[in-house]
Structure 1
């Protein structure tokens, strides 16, 4: 039987799917290296790189939030495109935050905490999932249910693991 090293496979998928510039750490990188946080935030504590979590549900597409319209949930700050989205979020924050703390769903399915690009955000069965980049998002799309199931199984072991 073929034995697969899931960590190496996940790393290879992410490297192959990433443009070279994405492999060089920059100020725009969302995740804080070495963080053991359960939510993918930048150094200022901003989740989803400032994208509005409610917009994925309302419009089906990623939408940048405004600095002036924000709230904090589970130690992460979220921005919203308008006050109505902020109020919707406040009524049920757990419904709108991305699964797996906003880390890549595919990476989580392979047992790794990996940064995610909010522009890959997609709502599946009433939950928001993000992935590393569009190429990794295509992997998510090929086996959405299986990826989610594996990620849900792995997340409890990863939630407090260092990035």
Structure 2
């Protein structure tokens, strides 16, 4: 019986993503500052070292709830896609800066500083941090994956994203 319990616990740990707390929500009241996380998949990703295209703002009248947060979308179609598989579209580390998590902390992620790696969305906090993160993306993801389960929800920063101003989703 004990062997079965240990096998079950191990299987559950491998099959369920680690969450170190709720989705990061800034002063806009929305996850990812009200930007449409599904729309990232349609943006042309540029090579490392170049600035990504600006993210697409969602609309205040097209929203969904997931991981303790309200998410905004640019279209009903994008909301429907998100609701089919929200974990696929949501940014890694509950929207916190990927490089920050690789260093063992939680700071906000900027929705305009993004990259999709191995079909997962990652955010970073500043242009300078993006440079550090891009020096070794696989290594930094590996470090972040190891750190993430150990970061306590209370360790999250309540600071705002530097050089980023968002009024949230487009009001309709």
Rounded Cα–Cα distance in structure 2 between residues aligned with 1:64 and 1:43 = 15
Report the equivalent of 1:56.
Answer: 40
Q: Do the aligned partners of 1:37 and 1:162 also contact (CA within 8 Å) in 2?
A: no
Match of 1:154 in 2: 147
Alignment-derived partner of residue 25 in structure 2 = 41
1:128 to 121, 124, 139: 121
1 or 2, which has the higher helix percentage?
1
User: What is the total number of aligned residue pairs between the two structures?
Assistant: 128
Q: Distance in 2 between matches of 1:85 and 1:92?
A: 11
Alpha-carbon distance in 1 for matches of 2:67, 2:152: 13
Map 1:1-163 onto structure 2 (within 5 A): 37-43=21-27, 45-60=29-44, 61=53, 62-163=55-156
Instruction: Determine the structure 2 residue equivalent to 1:26.
Output: none
* TM-score, normalised relative to structure 1: 0.73
Partner of 2:4: none
3-state SS of the aligned residue for 1:155? helix
CA shift in 2, pair 1:159/1:128, >3 Å: farther
Larger Rg: 2
1:107-148: CA deviations, max 9, x gaps? 000000111111002111100000011221121111100010
- TM-score normalised according to structure 2 size: 0.70
Indicate the RMSD between aligned Cα atoms, in angstroms: 1.6
SS at match of 1:70: strand
Q: Are the counterparts in 1 of residues 22 and 68 from structure 2 also a CA contact under 8 Å? A: no
Q: Note the C-alpha offset of 1:43.
A: 4.7
